[in-house]
Chain A
Amino acid sequence: MTLRELGKKVRLTAACVAVALAFAGCSGGGPKAVEVSKASDLAGLRVGCTAGSIYEMMLSQRADIELSTFNAPSDDVEALVSGKVDVMVEDDTFMSPEEMARTGIKLAFRGKTQFPVAFAFSKGNAATAPVREGLSRFIDSLRGTGELQKMYDRWFECDTPSRVPMPDLGPEPEGKPIKVGLVVNMPPIAFSVGKDWRGFDPEVLLRYSRYAGRPVDINYVPLASATTALQTGNIDILCGGIFVTEERQKTIDFSSVHYYAYPGFFVRAAGAAGVQAGFWERMRQTVHNNLIVEARWRYILEGLWETVKISLLSILLGSLLGAGVCWMRMSRRRWVSQTAKAYISLMRGIPMLVFLMIMFYVVLAGTGLSATMVAVVAFALNFAAYVSEMFRTAIDSVGKGQTEAGLAIGFTRWQTFVYIVAPQALRSVMPVYKGEAVSLVKNTSIVGYIAIQDLTRASDMIRNRTFDAFFPLLLVTVIYFVLAWLLGKLLDLTVRNTAKK
């Protein structure tokens, strides 16, 4: 081990320990707080921001800082709290005072650059152009009457935006919904409570919905797949603090600007982690915060149901398809078996995440299938390729003599297969098949990329709100483990029952 590797290892361990200690809340004063008051103070510090954000572009120009980028703002917060970075750069309004107090973070200073924020639409899309124009007019008129400023003040100039109620806007209009993708889930911009969305952006949208007489369907979309979703028409509007920049205007049409943001430079507040409570009390707080508040356990329950649904349907459909592919692969007709072979190697060669995105945004984009069904189809197609080869080897492993004996005693080819070859093949395929099924369950954790709120996404949603990395992750880990174990038991049981028949 070189010195450098050793250093890395030590740092990694230290980071892990820090995370654990941060969770436990007994970090002995926590990582050292840093004081900054202007951009030049960042020199020599570790700075974090969200990947792909405007701040990344801004900060990557500076050679005198150590920049880390994270997938989501919540990871960024986690990094700051645990001491992996010293300064976090996000929108100044990104965290409400109540969240900052809870996590022990403070806004050190605001940057001077002003960023206009607006709703984003697919460039040159004739279908959504009327919505964009309507929304722009609506925003302009709200600004004209001063209503927009009042709304802004209500959400942003408030210490506890998570407790700000949504105004009663009357019943939702009927009709074809406008599909909205939100890239954040955090007060005050936008956050979900159960099935409802609250915050500044949702309020603008819901008000517009009443104005235009069309319902809006709001869903969380991870930033990584947001622009694809917009361009392929899976969503009509993208929002959640999207900055209007010259570069983006080349590929995106924006509505009128509805507010302005400034870069906020956040640091750990000195002595923030001083609140010492007993272990059980801390545990109770963690559970309360992650599951009870805003009925967040519903995310877990709904996510679990989604994961179970996708897994079981994919396994069922995939096994049937796999049997079909296996049959094709074993066909004596050359072109049939070659087709199956090509299919298998194709499916094996594409990363599952890429395949899922292609299916959702390209292949099945126009079919009107729900995201869940697309995921089922994609996973089933992938599963089929793998299990078909398992089935084939299992069938081949049953000696030719067994088939001959079956035929010679007077069974038809089909009876011979069903009565004699299949039961023996089933027995030998089971261990590998079980492994593949379990690995499918675990792989479904990527469906969040096509805006399905599965179990993993549920933990993300909770983490986005609570900035608690440890508990939600640990919880879903345990749930996945139990799920995999139950699935194994279920398969064993099924096989035992089939064997009896």
Chain B
Amino acid sequence: MITIKHLSKQYINPDGTVFKVLKDVNCEINPGEVISIIGPSGTGKSTFLRAINLLDPPTGGEILFDGENILAKGYPLNKLRQKMGMVFQSFNLFEHLSILDNVTFAPMKLHHLDRRQAEEEAMAMLRKVGMAEKANAMPSDLSGGQKQRVAIARCLAMHPEVILFDEPTSALDPTMVGEVLSVLRQLASEGMTMLIVTHEMKFARDVSTRIFFMNDGIIYEDGTPQQIFENPVHSATKAFVQRIRKAVFEVDGPDYDMLGVHSQMDAFCNKYHIADKGVAAGRIVDLVAEKVMPTAYPYTLRLTYSELNDVASLDVMKERLEASPLLGADAGVAEELRRLCREIVEEPTTRGFRVKFIL
């Protein structure tokens, strides 16, 4: 369907130096594939996606769509883009049109559908993304997640052969990510060809048929989710997929910023969709501070999350301590702590002692 050969893109900085965003991208995309493009920020994922429909035209290489070189002079770009939908990070709904008009606008103007037909179809698409009841609202009346679902419906109304998703959930409040991802899941299950630039590792692993790991301007590794997440060939891929997210807080006195710590921990958990674990972590932090180590300042709290294994843990670390602080704790408190987590690991470290609550 889409064949990409030696695609490159470079910018010339104001100081005259050349910055190569895409160096040499090669791939083949087949109908029905759901491809997630992952990788560290600034490695050209979005640029690559936007090069495919020439919103950011590449500076070198070839893109073949159904065997035709779309970079050739005179290729009807607007026709290509009608077959190649795009969903943006910032939704970009047409602000001057109602939700229904947003969906019917392009089919009416470009496919010359009459209004009745276009509206019927638009309502079907809006129902599909759960936005039918907002058909007469204006974009400014909607939340981010709702806007993004309308944007997907707008895209679907053109019956594209492939849809490009440019970080569709990155601009969303964590509570709204789910509604958009579930629409994407549904589309994938219906066999839509999709290219998704995303930071949602779990989603990428669950939904994709294929993963592109992009790094340093090239597709570093291309494989099934299983291969990329469990048996990566390259060390860079491994480092990326196995990277552990963490947040560290210092508790250095009775007047530490208790509310600040809680809210930052909540934000961290929301970001990685482990809000339920955040509740337990918050309770543990309180218990430790009030009952277990009420005078043992300073100590360090560390919240970690491995996206690959979906494992989160809360570490309580104290320097120059040789025995577990839990030993001296009240039995009831110890019991409650045990109930709040899956497992408690108590281990000495080179500098002190660490209690690890696996959530």
Question: Which residue numbers of A lie inside 8 Å of B, CB to CB?
Answer: 399, 401-402, 404-412, 415, 419-420, 423-424, 427
Contacts and interface: CB of A to CB of B under 8 A. Distances in A.
Interface stretch (B87-95, B126-134, B205-213, B324-332): B87-95
Interface stretch (B103-111, B222-230, B272-280): B103-111
A424 B96 contact: yes
A401 B88 contact: yes
Nearest to A499: B96
Contacts of A415: 78, 109
B78 A412 contact: yes
A404 B88 contact: yes
Nearest to A406: B94
A410 B88 contact: no
25 contacts: A399-B92, A401-B91, A404-B88, A405-B88, A405-B92, A407-B78, A408-B53, A408-B81, A408-B85, A408-B86, A409-B82, A409-B85, A409-B86, A409-B110, A409-B154, A409-B155, A410-B79, A410-B82, A410-B106, A410-B158, A415-B109, A420-B94, A423-B96, A424-B95, A427-B96
Contacts of A404: 55, 88, 92
Interface in B100-155: 105-106, 109-110, 154-155
A409 B95 contact: no
A29 B78 CA distance: 83
Name the residue among B55, B92, B93, B155 with the largest chain A CB count within 10 angstroms: B92
Nearest to B81: A410
A59 B222 CA distance: 98
A427 to B, nearest CB: 7
A411 B55 contact: no
Contacts, number: 57
B85 A405 contact: no
B53 A411 contact: no
B142 to A, nearest CB: 15
A409 B81 CA distance: 6
B55 A409 contact: no
B96 A407 contact: no
Interface of B: 53, 55, 78-79, 81-82, 85-86, 88, 90-96, 105-106, 109-110, 154-155, 158
B110 A411 contact: yes
Contacts of B109: 411, 415, 419
A410 B95 contact: no
A405 B154 CA distance: 10
Given A401-B91, A405-B88, A407-B55, 6 more contacts: A408-B55, A409-B110, A410-B110, A411-B106, A423-B96, A427-B96
A404 B88 CA distance: 9
A427 B82 CA distance: 28
A401 B81 contact: no
Contacts of B154: 409
B78 A411 contact: yes
A424 B55 CA distance: 22
Contacts of B94: 402, 405-406, 420
A296 B109 CA distance: 57
B301 to A, nearest CB: 40
Contacts of B53: 408
Contacts of A410: 78-79, 81-82, 106, 110, 158
Contacts of B82: 409-410
A402 B85 CA distance: 15
Name the residue among A405, A419, A423, A424 with the largest chain B CB count within 10 angstroms: A405
